[in-house]
Amino acid sequence: MRGYLHDGYAQTATLWSPKKLGYLTVVLTRNLLLGQTPYDDQTVEKVGKIRVNGDMIIMGAPLDFTKDNVDQYDF
């Protein structure tokens, strides 16, 4: 999307941070192995608060990329 943002074909692209998502996955997996179930409004270090909706874990707010900030990221 970087090129589309720079060329003006798109104004915003929205994603969750892959670094935080990977970290959250490892933390929750470890916790499950220790018998700790995730819960709504749980604060996870380096990630923030998570929401639990049935069998889904929702990780905070997404990140909006624009032509002004997209080059700050390398993934």
Q: Verify that 4 and 31 share a domain, yes or no.
A: no
Q: Verify that 23 and 55 share a domain, yes or no.
A: yes
Query: In this predicted structure, what is the pLDDT of residue 60?
Result: 80
Q: What is the pLDDT of residues 25-55, one digit of tens each?
A: 999 999 999 999 999 999 999 999 999 999 9
Q: Verify that 38 and 54 share a domain, yes or no.
A: yes
Question: Using an 8 Å Cβ cutoff, are 63 and 14 in contact?
Answer: yes
SS3 3: helix
What pTM does this model have? 0.67
Statement: residue 61 has pLDDT above 80: no
Q: Verify that 71 and 54 share a domain, yes or no.
A: no
Q: Verify that 12 and 23 share a domain, yes or no.
A: no
- For the residues 2-12, what does the mean pLDDT come to? 96
Q: Which residues pair with 65 in a beta bridge?
A: 13
Can you give the residue range of the structural domain that contains 29?
19-59
Phi first, then psi, for residue 15 (nearest 5°) are -145, 160
Q: Provide the pairing of β-strand 48-53 with 43-44.
A: antiparallel
User: How many structural domains compose the chain?
Assistant: 2
In the β-sheet with 56-59, what is the strand arrangement from edge to edge?
43-44, 48-53, 56-59
